[in-house]
Amino acid sequence: MKKDQVNDCEDVILSMELMVDNLNEVVKMLDRQAIISMLQKIIEGERVFVMGAGRSGLVAKAFAMRLMHLGFSVYVVGETTTPAVHPQDVVIAISGSGETRSIANLGRIVKDIGSTLITVTSKKESTLGKISDITMVLPSKTKNDHDVGGSLEKSMRGDYRNSPPLGTSFEITSLVFLDSVIAQLIIFTGATETELKLRHTNIE
């Protein structure tokens, strides 16, 4: 590891600009009908289950927390207190590649149960993308994209030194997208800031 003296922060600023540019490009490509269908299924579902591995799993937990604040019955797949999934439930998988073995296998189980499977991914033609009832595509570089030649950043900048590493682009994009879904659900449910705060944990 280099231990040179730090004398500027321009690469930090440039990396942030790249992330913002990526978000702006993704917004232009979003499937509006898929978003509407996703919102409808979340509202209609008896319970919501979320799942993801690694950093995508952290994004899934953040989304679950916000759904809880809104009063939804929500669970994180893999937690010891998570109950059995039923056909009337909605399961939301978050996977940049759509190929993460553990999540793809769980997706198949969800389909066998007969539950609604929604996948947030960057790869529509992935294993999860193909088996899902709704595939919400967020075009972003993932950890499996070794060649950055096809990334959004290259087409915009032509320089990849400051590109976010591994799956960071997808994780940031999915976090922003899912928080935006929450913003829409707040409007649909009529929830107030006070109600959200009342449901927030009080033993932290």
By the 10 Å C-beta count (0-12 exposed, 13-18 middle, 19+ buried), 173 is classed as buried
pLDDT digits over 99-123, tens only? 999 999 999 999 999 999 999 999 9
Cα distances (angstroms) measured from residue 91 to each of 51, 160, 175? 8, 35, 17
- Neighbour-count burial for 117-152, b at 16+ CB within 10 Å, e otherwise: bbbbbbbbebbbbebbbbbbbbbbbbbebeeeeebb
pTM for the model stands at 0.85
| Tokens 């994009």 found at | 173
Convert 189-202 to b/e letters by CB count within 10 Å (16 or more is b).
eebeeeebeeeeee
Active site amino acids: 171
State the alpha helices, DSSP H only, in 52-167: 54-69, 101-113, 127-131, 152-157
Superfamily in which the 32-140+167-196 domain is placed by CATH: Glucose-6-phosphate isomerase like protein; domain 1 (3.40.50.10490)
Q: Convert the pLDDT of each residue in 141-175 to its tens digit.
A: 655 554 444 444 444 444 445 555 545 789 999 99
pLDDT digits (tens, 9 = 90+) for 24-77: 999 999 999 999 999 999 999 999 999 999 999 999 999 999 999 999 999 999
What the block records as the tokens of 100 is: 């993460």
What integer pLDDT is reported at residue 167 of this predicted model? 55
Q: Which amino acid is at 93?
A: A
Give residue for tokens 């950043």.
Answer: 153
pLDDT at 157: 46
